[in-house]
A and B are shown apart, each in its own frame.
Chain A
Amino acid sequence: MAIELRQVSKREGADQHIYETSLALQPQGFNILLGTTLAGKTTLMRLMAGLELPSSGEVWFDGRNATGVAVQKRNVSMVYQQFINYPNMTVFENIASPLRVAGASRRDIRSQVERVAELLQLGPMLKRKPSELSGGQQQRTALARALVKDSELVLLDEPLANLDYKLREELREELPKLFRDKGVTVVYATTEPSEALLLGGHTATLDAGRVTQFGVTGEVYRQPRDLVSAQVFSEPPMNLATASVTAGQVMLKGGVGWAGPQWLEDQRNVTVAVRPHHLLPTPAGGLQVAIEGSVLVAEISGSESVIHLDIDGRTWVSQSHGIHPYATGSTVQVYIQTEHCLYFDADGRSLMPNDRGAN
């Protein structure tokens, strides 16, 4: 189904949850809403589901204005971050409930529920109550209910956020597969950039009630339209520095410089953004430049090192594979992978021409 938000906004009292937003989702695709908590992801979904009415603007389904259509008539499914199941019903009845309401035949219900339960490994649980299941199984039940319904729009609001790490990885792999064959439009909200990248599809970056960019996930990641979108898509946050460009040479305030990309025109006041994993404690293969900083904190988690540095009065973060122990306060050299730097003008707009992408 083609879903389109036309100049939609949502205000409640003094709180502006969504500023005027237009967004045409990718039909039959995986659409990711990426943003921090309170960025407006849930509100956008609720507007699509019809659980809330927009303060202004319209919601269009397949070329028809669906703004005033009741939730029950929209033919959507939704899975919440909390595990929401009907506590008084068994898993079977939970999954069957949308079919029962729709008036499907007994035999139809049985075969459909069993098929979906099989798919989500809930077969042996069908007779239990949701409260007797683990968190992962509860969320699978909710997913099964969304899956069994023949809806054209599936809204998944951080469905994996409350699951433990292993289950999350497992389900994250299954999710796109489950919905791909059904030809439904999926909207998936997440706070994690890595999750968006793993899921693929299209991504809309959200910040403070605004959709800052929408496009193919990889492109949004590689070619952020502005600094805000770039930051939404970076965890830990991007490292930023002010630089000037003269004769194609990028020069940081502290005196470190390198040859910028060809399309970069001479100007003062450029914001250079370096992703944490493009700032490495050891030299790598490509074009790079060394920069000195003093270590603020060095965290080592498993096989990954995260080093917080003070460089010219700004805090930068380096994220790298391998174990790199550093004493707090020591001066170290880190290497900026200059090919991967992003450049923004003073207003935060990307300076990169549209047809190019760094990675």
Chain B
Amino acid sequence: MGRYKWLVPTIYIVFLMLPIYWLLNMSFKTTNEILGTFSLWPREFTLENYRTIFTDPTWYNGYFNSLAYVLVNMVISVLVALPAAYAFSRYRFLGDKHLFFWLLTNRMAPPAVFALPFFQLYSAIGLFDTHFAVALAHCLFNIPLAVWILEGFMSGVPKELDETAYIDGYSFGRFFVKIFIPTITAGIGVAAFFCFMFSWVELLLAKTLTSVAAKPIAATMTRTASTAGYELGLLAAAGSLTIIPGAIVIYFVRNYIARGFALGRV
């Protein structure tokens, strides 16, 4: 028994890594090879797929657009959530618990429900097909999440810290910027990461609210067929590249991710 205890984790990891490997595998093959033969590694290794993505504006602009609205959304969400989370963690007011819970229920509505009203509204005020439109729409589910995560981290900071600062002579604003925010950087990182992740993978709103100018990469990828037929190798390369930003962001908050999934609570 003891000799085979590596077996189960290995099978599990192989099982998890297999789709990712296959994606990478495909991205270095030609479409002909993908369609024609079954091979565990690229027989005709090619970087042509990646070259196309980095040189063709319809592809790389997809990445720019996605990154643009994701980053804008991240900044808005965290900036709005910071004071809200502080209020929830430090003050008692009428209905605070209900309001706090109501925030989370916002996450439970499927985004599809809001696609139509957003589309109509943004078309009317000229926001349609802008990065800002998607960023704002994603705030719908990211701000509540950020508030919950930050509230958890903030509640872990004793309120005596605030009081000590006031006694030392700090004004509220100066305390908040100079002491409080640096104290909860881990929480801000985790909240930003979750905003990034959810905004990055969200497809429906992003597709509905854009057409050409702010078209996200995932929408570009749904254009599977072209004059040359199915460009599977190209799609695989594009898919591989979408994993990278998330991997980079997760690296920075890797030590706090578990607390993030617990919404900041220990």
Contact = CB atoms under 8 A, between A and B. Distances in A.
* B is a partner of A: yes
Interface of A: 49, 51, 71-72, 76-78, 80, 82, 84, 86-89, 97-98, 101-102, 142, 145, 149
Contacts, number: 51
Interface of B: 158, 160-161, 163-171, 174, 179, 182-183, 185
A78 B158 contact: no
A101 B160 contact: no
A76 to B, nearest CB: 6
Contact of A88 (B164, B168, B182): B182
Given A80-B160, A82-B160, A88 B167 contact: no
Given A88-B182, A101-B174, A49 B160 contact: no
Given A84-B161, A88-B179, A101-B174, A78 B167 contact: yes
B183 A80 contact: no
A97 B174 CA distance: 12
Nearest to B169: A101
Nearest to A98: B168
Contacts of B161: 84, 86
Nearest to B172: A72
Contacts of B166: 51, 71-72
B169 A80 contact: no
Nearest first, the 9 closest Cβ-Cβ pairs linking A and B are A88-B182, A101-B169, A98-B168, A71-B166, A84-B160, A84-B164, A80-B160, A78-B167, A72-B169
B169 A78 contact: no
A49 B164 CA distance: 10
Contacts of A71: 163, 166-167
A76 B170 CA distance: 13
Given A78-B163, A82-B158, A101-B174, A88 B183 contact: yes
Given A51-B163, A80-B160, A86-B161, A149 B179 contact: no
Given A84-B158, A86-B183, A88-B183, A97 B168 contact: yes
A86 B179 contact: yes
A11 to B, nearest CB: 15
B98 to A, nearest CB: 18
Given A72-B169, A101-B174, A78 B164 contact: yes
B256 to A, nearest CB: 15
A354 to B, nearest CB: 38
A77 B167 contact: yes
B49 to A, nearest CB: 46
A49 B167 CA distance: 8
A142 B33 CA distance: 69
Contacts of A149: 168
A71 B175 CA distance: 13
A145 B166 CA distance: 13
B164 A80 contact: yes
B183 A87 contact: yes
